[in-house]
Structure 1
């Protein structure tokens, strides 16, 4: 669920790996101190950026995700007892593959492969705490790539205690992947007008969504019905067993929080130490998720604009009011007259919007966005195109990862579509625009992707109490663009053992991104199981 103006339901939710090259500030090597935290929630922390009052509240109508039987079914025993054959890969890492059933309801119907990587703990003896499975989000983000990053940059005290393990979920990257379009087709898809103004433009957008769906069905039809978050959570339990861990220790970011919470709901007795950072609210339907996320991006842009206008060189003006007007003018101008980029590709409104949104994930990218907007003012769209390409994981040779294909496949399976056709989108536009004057229209039309998906959704919005689980720490950032803070409040509240840890700041997710307060609190929890004090706010 990555925003991406052209993909699926609640935008793609990644921890920033693909967007910023994982250029987070170095984390302290020790457990750290939470001395900069406040144990009383202030007004900034309790606000609901991105959705207004109660925006992230759990839906009373959402049914409860019930746990699976604790006993492992006989038909799955051979998956749980297979042997992982590890081999050296990269520097200091080990790689392997494992088999899981394509269909858990019919395990005899065939297998798919999952790619797994680990970096063994540097500590010895009693300091080793087993495996820490990590996921960067998406859906569609490569946990293998993220593990290779985390094993080098997460706090040293955590890396010395845990084997850092990443498994590409089913449908993603090194595991049996979803495929949909050629690179050339994907170039056209990402540039499709995401704010159609005429019937002809609406028809073009619908045709692009249908072409994506048809391409996925043609190239990955057998897999599409079996890439849900529930399927991936069940895969994680197989991985847990093969790693030799009685309980799953897990750190999920962004969409990875939904994956982790789903695991906790299905297997509460097997939850070890679990951190859910940049949380989703699983009790919201696709429409609510989309509209509230639109508000999250609006909040993030407001923070960027307030920072930008402090500089005399800000390309958006000298006040936030000017910045709002200027962005609208730029978007409209790119729609009417796409910019040259020094390549055969033009920067239109769709790609430009993606470039702006991409920089919202990490305030460390704000200077890059200022520079890109300055270039755009001069008729050069190359800077914004580069940000957009980072977002879509398009490399310099023009090749796309399968991030966006997996993203659509999982989103369209997990929840019923936010809109069934253009007429319904047009009815929803006013609410989207109220939540986000700048980005609401784009996200409204992005909710149409799943309307044409070739397989019906198998999931629905659910409340996840995970009764009987060990304590779970939920981390929320007050001005998070992709996962509004209210979602973290809601998830922590619905989890029976949830504890909310708040970061009063900007950017998407908080752990290992430079806050000693956040890192210290999470490190203590991962090492000792002691949760942060209730109401802890880091600044």
Structure 2
């Protein structure tokens, strides 16, 4: 692709989600065939008469960063499970950010841990979902998939968002209640059957409010965006260049709205649908997760060595039915049907690990549940020194929405969605109860949208179980300066998985070159 054009025409009114069926000229990774995000009958036209040329921000070499970096190669390699490249070195530093809640300044500070990899002179910050790998670890893995040219242009900086990894410790939920919330039977569909889950979520909210007090309100996407602005200043940058994945993309969108003057080259790799409430987002995730599961099972069935046999769907259903009757004894909590479904959901997000996921399911079918339990272990408790991810998912997730769904309504949704989304409808509906007893966040100051942003590539993955592709397309439409990259693949996030999407992102980051209309990347 050309690496020369540093100016891109940006449409200031809403763009079409799919303007054409243009294809990327480079090949994609091997993926199962999946449908386009929108077919021709669903494509819409938008007014594109008003246009303005917004320059792609120049890259800058900082001169006086105030961060103190130190070698942490062995620590990062250990956290990566010994899978990292042996010739790569990692440095770590710590940002100290003000830990204020809305309307309550002067509440102290929080450490925000950072990891740096790559030799490039310009920092490129990576932000991940709070329920996923901590940003430092995710960035280290992402760097392995990026080109030498990008790593010689940028130094990749992963950020453990507040309350994740080894940053501020928000451990406040009793371990038994974590286990209950993640292990609950997805077949529980009446208020009486859901009473145990309701008790666990009420206890979690009570304990976190008691332990963290007013600080429970200091963990959300708005404050993470503020941490990014402080990081930009500490790095001595005029503009922040960053990659956000999944819900981390929403943090970058918040940043762009709050600090438009310091927005640099941003990449949003999967983003939540801004048009849906909590119920709509949960059902959209259930629908997308079912589609990803179908693709996973179909791919396994087409393999001559599929460990789930010639009918993987039947093998999975038999396993889940048996777990509903009798959980498997493991080295940790018993593997219930609910815990197995949560583990499978996490495994579906990593397309490269699908063969291993099939092995884990087959092992559970043979009576050993430890393989599936390993996938969900980071949510249940501390792993490799990183705090349990459940609290970050709970606290940030509930603080980022004002929706509070009553338990009686949750029970109705479990029944409705279980009929429409056989595997994931029940647990997605039950997850809405996590915030039912959580304090409603204080109103935030109005954030004005701007049409003066640089172009922002937004990458959608057609079959994404965490941030569904259609929702990401809607997020792109809501950003006046966006260009949609529509990858027809499967998994959570396209960077490093799709050759096409990754090259488009790298062309933009390195040289400021970006297509002026939607690109559809092959599976």
Aligned to 1:242: 234
Distance 1:439 1:498, change over 3 A: same
CA RMSD of aligned residues (A): 3.0
What is the CA deviation profile of residues 78-137 of structure 1, one whole-angstrom value per residue up to 9, with x for unaligned ones?
A: xxx995344443344141332324136443x222223242436524xxxx4x22111121
Conserved? CA contact 1:140–1:406, under 8 Å: no
The ranges of structure 1 where at least 4 consecutive aligned residues each deviate by more than 6 angstroms after the TM superposition are: none
Shift of 1:352: 1.2
Select 1:333's aligned residue among 322, 325, 338: 322
Aligned to 1:84: 67
Select 1:372's aligned residue among 360, 369, 374: 360
The within-5 A match list for 1:3-152 is: 34-36=25-27, 44-47=35-38, 83-90=66-73, 91-103=89-101, 105-107=103-105, 109-119=106-116, 122-123=119-120, 128=121, 130-139=122-131, 141-152=133-144
Shift of 1:187: 3.9
Is 1:381 matched with 2:369?
yes
Mark the runs of 5 or more structure 2 residues left unpaired by the alignment. 1-23, 44-63, 74-88
Structure 2 CA distance for aligned equivalents of residues 160 and 278 of structure 1: 25
What is the CA deviation profile of residues 281-311 of structure 1, one whole-angstrom value per residue up to 9, with x for unaligned ones?
A: 2332111110100111001001011112224
What is the CA deviation profile of residues 40-65 of structure 1, one whole-angstrom value per residue up to 9, with x for unaligned ones?
A: xx9932339xxx979xxxxxxxxxxx
Conserved? CA contact 1:273–1:470, under 8 Å: yes
Distance 1:36 1:170, change over 3 A: same
Select 1:484's aligned residue among 463, 468, 485: 468
Select 1:162's aligned residue among 138, 145, 154: 154
Distance 1:310 1:86, change over 3 A: closer
Provide the TM-score with structure 1 as the length reference: 0.77
Select 2:396's aligned residue among 410, 413, 421: 410
Select 1:474's aligned residue among 458, 463, 467: 458
Shift of 1:459: 6.4
Structure 2 CA distance for aligned equivalents of residues 88 and 313 of structure 1: 43
Aligned to 1:172: 164
Distance 1:308 1:148, change over 3 A: closer
Select 1:519's aligned residue among 502, 508, 511: 502
Aligned to 1:23: none
Tell me the SS of whatever aligns to 2:459: strand
Tell me the SS of whatever aligns to 1:376: helix
Q: How many residues align?
A: 458
Shift of 1:192: 3.4
Tell me the SS of whatever aligns to 2:462: strand
Conserved? CA contact 2:117–2:140, under 8 Å: no
Aligned to 1:528: 511
Structure 1 CA distance for aligned equivalents of residues 447 and 463 of structure 2: 24
Structure 2 CA distance for aligned equivalents of residues 260 and 232 of structure 1: 9
Structure number with higher relative contact order (C-alpha < 8 Å, ≥ 6 residues apart) = 1
Aligned to 1:440: 425
What is the CA deviation profile of residues 334-384 of structure 1, one whole-angstrom value per residue up to 9, with x for unaligned ones?
A: 11111233x363211111111221221122222222222222222332222
Structure 2 CA distance for aligned equivalents of residues 435 and 473 of structure 1: 33
